[in-house]
Structure 1
Amino acid sequence: MSDSGESVLPRFSTATRAWFTGAFDAATPAQLGAWAAIAGGDHALVVAPTGSGKTLAAFLWSLDTLAAAP
């Protein structure tokens, strides 16, 4: 994986980063890959086992963007 959690999480708002780091120990590889692609404006197809954080990977970026919008 080219992006570590340290380089992906700062792309989220302060509130989302605080929530994520309080709720989880670390992002999963599926989340890191998806967020790096989404942040770069690319499409992402997340294929990973059950319980690997795919749903959060898919929706957190959008929710963060909506919450940060004026």
Structure 2
Amino acid sequence: MQRIPLAVLVLLCLTLGLAPFTPEPHIWEKLRMLAAGELTKIVDVFDFLFHGVPWVLLALKLLYGRKPTDG
């Protein structure tokens, strides 16, 4: 995780993670489908994972990507 620049992950989240932007961000639509129990088609699950990976990587980078400090 330390090798991936934070700026690259943010850019991925803002482009791939949200695209297509209209009528609403795609990941938001898939999250609503998941919450409603409508995420049943394989293509929707794949699409959810595809658009969700940048967000997961960004979260992991922010949580665990810091270099350890000497203590």
Give the TM interval when normalised to the shorter protein: 0.3 to 0.5
Normalising by structure 2, we get a TM-score of 0.35
Normalising by structure 1, we get a TM-score of 0.35
Between the two structures, name the one with larger relative contact order (CA 8 Å, sep ≥ 6): 2
Between structure 1 and structure 2, the one with the greater Rg is 2
